[in-house]
Amino acid sequence: MTAKTLHIPTADGRADAFAAFPDGGERCPGVLMYADGFGIRPVLREMARELAGHGYYVLVPNVFYRNGPAPVIDLPEYIGDGARAKVFEQLMPLIEAHTVERVLSDADAYLGFLTAQPEVVAGPVAVTGYCIGGLLAVRTAAAHHGQVAAVAAFHGPVGADGPDSLSRLTGEVHFGHAETDLAPEALGELNRALDAASVSHTSEIYPGTRHGFTMSDTDAFDPAALQRHWDRLLPLLGRTLADG
């Protein structure tokens, strides 16, 4: 396994990013992975390595690069419930400043960089994201529907941009929702919008979960839900990406 820090040229500077991919010199499909709001840190690097070990080139950009390299804010080693309020007090201005225009401009740069890497095979890519990264994944896939074959988002506000955004998705979709994030009625509304747009999808609430259930450095972590996430994500990528 090769893992390294890279820098992605963008319209507003250079975004630092973490990349992981298999050793051996063979080209593999590309996956753009958006971190949760806490950003690139050991747990995200671990997840990127895990995914790369299944035969993918995984690129995790620091979406808040305009404010400095990751970690953009000081994070405790373990983000317990007692630390969340202070952390989010620092994060929310960054999230609010990350406009749709910035997201889409950066997505162009990230995908262009990813597909230009010599280790990445020609063809479609996948985008996955966690928490706010789930919304960024949806926005990226909607704007690059001819290039993105699959999008997966976990405990993210994926419907925040409304049905019009969902209708632009053409790849296969999986949304894994936290039980505390989405009521069954809201899930039904979201899934009806996906059905109306003829989007091939699975969209489900992971039972008993809290927002952030994939992240092992938080109080929300749920090991069974993390495994369920892999059980959904890996087959999705295998179906949609060449040589996956």
Q: Which tens digits make up the pLDDT trace of 51-101?
A: 999 999 999 999 999 999 999 999 999 999 888 889 989 999 999 999 999
- Answer yes or no: are the C-beta atoms of 210 and 203 closer than 8 Å: no
- Low-confidence residues of the chain: pLDDT under 70: 243-244
pLDDT in tens, 49-65: 999 999 999 999 999 99
Q: What is the pTM of this model?
A: 0.96
Say what the alpha-carbon torsion angle 133, 225, 2, 14 is, to the nearest 10 degrees: 10
- Ramachandran angles phi, psi of 68, nearest 5°: 125, 170
Domain of residue 145, CATH code: 3.40.50.1820
Please check whether residue 141 is in contact with residue 171, taking contact to mean a CB–CB distance below 8 angstroms: yes
Neighbours of 7 (CB within 10 A): 15
66/213 Cα distance (integer angstroms) = 28
CA distance 198 to 58: 28
Predicted local distance difference test score (pLDDT) of residue 244: 45
* Overall number of domains in the chain: 1
| Degrees to nearest 5, angle at CA 49 with 46 and 50 | 85
- How far apart, in whole angstroms, are the C-alpha atoms of residue 171 and residue 141? 8
Domain that holds residue 179: 2-240
Q: What are phi and psi of 126, to 5 degrees?
A: -120, 155
